[in-house]
């Protein structure tokens, strides 16, 4: 038997890891845990798990459509953002075609494209940020899709509303632009893109969001996309039936209404971002300005050699070798106690 070439060429996803006794701050999970209202909704839904879920996620879609001020036909709900990318690629790209992206970003764009035999064309970040002009330069007549992670995972950098709009103005109208905003909830810069406005202006734009980060539901796998009904309908045709389970739908719906949990999460992230950035600066440790719930910093040696000494002292961070950034680490902001401990550990492992 011969494995298909496009599958044989794919690299396995490298998740954030931890060890017993360490606080796991390597996967951008919510340090406050899940929305309490989501947990309550799960308990209430448990008695119904012998029933198949609503295959159309109707109630969740309706709520999201109202929140985004779009028709329900503009919403796609899936088993995490990862599945959203896969469904879009399944519907809109194939062999002999290509998609455009960045090397040092979330690897699942590459996975989705290669899964269907298409080519993923990638260039490098420009000073830690998406090189939009460079990406425009490699679009050709066979390009069907462009992926932009904003803020970018793992650097936390972002492109402004004006920059994204200018890019969309220059992209051919038959090329789908996927704007992954998994971390947009944490952005506080005034020029961060207003994707609601962009969606009304560009019919080839699809915006993706997730319940894994600010809502603390990473273990349930719920993501969604917003776009014009033609693009969304195409992706839905590629979907497996019942892809979002009962408990996930109930929890996501409840989390949307838990404003207290959302505000508490934002307060923690913004407070700890300011604290941790100042501490890194005082130590002379380079780090990118971030609009996400994590920070990307650089040390003088490869992080893979320091990961275990750091984790064994109590904090698990993300080694970015799989992103092509071997001397950089990604750290999810935790509590003040967590953050102080990591700073102490960094002082220990980098001294001398």
In this prediction, residues 285-302 reach a mean pLDDT of 97
Task: Supply angle C-alpha 331, 247, 30, rounded to 5.
Answer: 15
Q: How far apart are the first and last CA of the chain?
A: 54
Q: What is the pLDDT of residue 309?
A: 94
Stretch 65-91: mean pLDDT: 97
pLDDT reading at 12 higher than 90: no
What predicted TM-score, i.e. pTM, was given to this entire model? 0.95
Query: Cα torsion at 194, 120, 105, 244 (round to 10°)?
Result: 70
The tens digit of pLDDT for each residue in 245-256 reads: 999 999 999 999
> 3-class SS at 176?
strand
Which pLDDT does position 195 carry in this prediction? 97
Local confidence band at 72 (pLDDT 50, 70, 90 cut-offs) = very high
Distance (Å, whole) CA 12 – CA 137: 29
The pLDDT of residue 9 is: 82
18, 26 contact by CB (below 8 A): yes
Confidence of residue 4 (pLDDT cuts 50, 70, 90): confident
Structure tokens at 142: 């066979």
- Mean pLDDT over each residue of the chain, to the nearest integer: 96
Please tell me the predicted confidence (pLDDT) of residue 351: 77
The confidence band for 338, taking pLDDT boundaries of 50, 70 and 90, is: very high
342 alpha carbon, distance to own chain's centre: 24
Q: Which pLDDT belongs to residue 352?
A: 57
Q: In whole angstroms, what is the distance from residue 151 CA to residue 157 CA?
A: 5
Q: What percent of the chain has pLDDT over 70?
A: 100
CB 189 within 8 Å of CB 220 = no
Prior bond of 151 cis (ω within 30°): yes
**What integer pLDDT is reported at residue 90 of this predicted model?**
96
| Distance of alpha carbon 261 from alpha carbon 266, whole angstroms | 9
Q: What's the pLDDT band for 268 if we cut at 50, 70, 90?
A: very high
> pLDDT (tens digit, 9 = 90+) per residue, 132-188?
999 999 999 999 999 999 999 999 999 999 999 999 999 999 999 999 999 999 999
Are 18-32+259-350 and 36-256 the same fold in CATH? no
Q: Does domain 18-32+259-350 have CATH number 3.90.1150.10?
A: yes
CB 65 within 8 A of CB 74: yes
- Name the helix (H) or strand (E) containing 200: helix 195-201
Show me where the domains of the chain are located: 18-32+259-350, 36-256
Using pLDDT thresholds of 50, 70 and 90, give the confidence band for residue 350. Answer: confident
Distance CA(210)–CA(225), nearest Å, equals 9
For residue 104, what pLDDT is reported?
96
List, for residues 194-232, the tens digit of each pLDDT value.
999 999 999 999 999 999 999 999 999 999 999 999 999
The CATH number, out of the four listed (3.40.980.10, 3.30.70.360, 3.60.15.10, 3.40.640.10), of the domain defined by the range 36-256: 3.40.640.10
Write down how long the chain is. Answer: 352
- Mean pLDDT (whole number) for 62-72: 97
């Amino acid at each position: 038997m011969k494995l298909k070439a496009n599958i044989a060429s794919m690299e396995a996803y490298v998740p954030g890891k931890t060890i017993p006794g360490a606080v796991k701050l390597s996967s951008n999970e919510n340090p406050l845990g899940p929305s309490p209202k989501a947990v309550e909704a799960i308990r209430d839904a448990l008695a119904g798990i012998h029933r198949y879920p609503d295959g159309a996620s109707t109630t969740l879609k309706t709520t999201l459509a109202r929140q985004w001020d779009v028709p329900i036909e503009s919403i796609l709900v899936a088993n995490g953002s990862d599945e959203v990318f896969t469904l879009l690629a399944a519907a809109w790209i194939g062999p002999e075609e290509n998609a455009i992206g960045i090397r040092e970003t979330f690897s699942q764009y590459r996975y989705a494209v290669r899964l269907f035999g298409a080519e993923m064309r990638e260039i490098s970040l420009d000073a830690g940020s998406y090189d939009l002009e460079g990406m425009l330069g490699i679009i050709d007549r066979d390009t069907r899709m462009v992926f932009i992670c904003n803020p970018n995972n793992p650097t936390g950098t972002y492109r402004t509303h004006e920059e994204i709009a200018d890019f969309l103005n220059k992209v051919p109208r038959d090329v789908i632009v996927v704007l992954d905003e998994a971390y947009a909830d944490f952005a506080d810069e005034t020029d961060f893109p207003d994707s609601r406005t962009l969606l009304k202006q560009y019919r080839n734009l699809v915006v993706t969001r997730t319940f894994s980060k600010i809502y603390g539901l990473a273990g349930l796998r719920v993501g969604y996309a917003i776009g014009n009904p033609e693009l969304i309908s195409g992706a839905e045709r590629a979907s497996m039936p019942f892809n979002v389970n009962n408990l996930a739908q109930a929890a996501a719906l409840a989390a949307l209404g838990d404003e207290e949990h959302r505000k508490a999460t934002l307060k923690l992230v913004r407070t700890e971002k300011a604290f941790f950035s100042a501490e890194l600066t005082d130590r002379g440790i380079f780090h990118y300005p971030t609009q996400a719930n994590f920070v990307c910093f650089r040390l003088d040696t490869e992080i893979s050699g320091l990961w275990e000494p750091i984790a064994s002292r109590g904090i698990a961070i993300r080694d970015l070798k799989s992103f092509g950034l071997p001397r950089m680490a990604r750290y999810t902001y935790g509590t003040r106690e967590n953050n102080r401990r990591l700073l102490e550990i960094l002082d220990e492992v980098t001294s001398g």
